[in-house]
Amino acid sequence: MMTDTARCALVLGASGGLGTALVVEFLADPAITQVIAVSRKGQPLSLSVSDDVTNKLVWIQTEYDEQSMTTVVEQIEGHAGNIARVCICHGLLHSETIWPEKRLEDINADALHEIFQSNTVVPTLWLKLLFKLLKGEEPCVVATMNARVGSIGDNRMGGWHSYRASKAALNMVLQNMAIEYGRRAKNVKLISFHPGTTDTGLSKPFQAAVPSGKLFSPAFVATRLSEIMDNAAVDGELSYVDWNGQPIPW
């Protein structure tokens, strides 16, 4: 049974580098009484949880089709009204069969579908399914991982067609969601968050080109995002910001 002072953090896509760092960040936060981590893989072996916070963590393993995601939401519905933080950490840039396109000829329909599924469709479904759990009296801040390359106004290089388009589409979804949440769940604040180049598997093939001092550890980004969420005004607006809290052009 959740108490009136319970504050839950929900991390979706928790087994990746940044997702796991956010789990650690919230476990260390005394204002958070429960951390629910959701991922396709189980709890990473690298995540060692001290005895004093073992009971604070719940890890749920799932697929990311809508039926499985609905089951997850049903599992955590006892936390309805007490969820204070949500981080949606899904993202796909490359895989064994997918690589960012450098020219038009590289565009492939199957890759487009897979990238949009991970970067746009899955976060959209979470925001749809979680609505009934997030609305209430408790201020709730939801951060969805995005990227600066999702900015249309900031695009001066082109390329990476699927990834850029999926992240730009995500911003449109989040803007729509912010408008509807603003009418129907005034306690919820949405953030579209660019973590910068973070030392995870997603950025690994491209790290050699990153300027000195601009490759961030997942722990650093998790701390910065937590601070941004703590200071966010629940204003019914979507914020598109980077790791330093600076706005990004749409």
Query: pLDDT tens digits, residue range 195-233?
Result: 988 888 787 777 777 777 778 899 999 999 999 999 999
215 strand-pairing partners: 197
Q: Token pair 């001066």 is at which residue?
A: 156
- What's the pLDDT band for 2 if we cut at 50, 70, 90? very low
Is there a domain that residue 194 lies in? yes
User: Which CATH number fits the domain that encloses residue 100?
Assistant: 3.40.50.720
**Which distant-in-sequence residues (6+ apart) come within 8 Å of 95 by Cβ?**
114
Is the per-residue pLDDT at 245 higher than 50?
yes
Q: Flag whether 121 is in a domain.
A: yes
What is the amino acid identity at position 179? I
Residue 1 lies in a domain: no
pLDDT > 90 fraction of the chain, expressed in percent and rounded: 80
CB 84 within 8 A of CB 138: yes
Residue 45 falls inside a structural domain: yes
Q: Per the structure, how many domains does the chain have?
A: 1
Q: Tell whether 75 is covered by a domain.
A: yes
Mean of the per-residue pLDDT values of the chain: 92
Give the separation between CA 32 and CA 195, rounded to whole angstroms: 22
Burial, 7: exposed, middle or buried (Cβ in 10 Å; 0-12, 13-18, 19+)?
A: buried
pTM for this prediction: 0.93
Length of the chain: 250
Q: Which helix (H) or strand (E) holds 197?
A: strand 197-198
- pLDDT category of residue 250 using cuts at 50, 70 and 90: very high
Cβ-in-10-Å burial (0-12, 13-18, 19+) of 187 comes to middle
pLDDT at 49: 75
> Residue 4: pLDDT band by 50, 70, 90 thresholds?
low
What's the whole-number mean pLDDT along residues 11-15? 96
In a domain, 21, yes or no: yes
Residue 248 falls inside a structural domain: no
Q: What is the mean pLDDT of residues 95-103?
A: 90
- Domain with 200 in it: 8-242
3-state DSSP assignment of residue 166: helix
250 within some domain:
no
First to last CA, the chain: 42
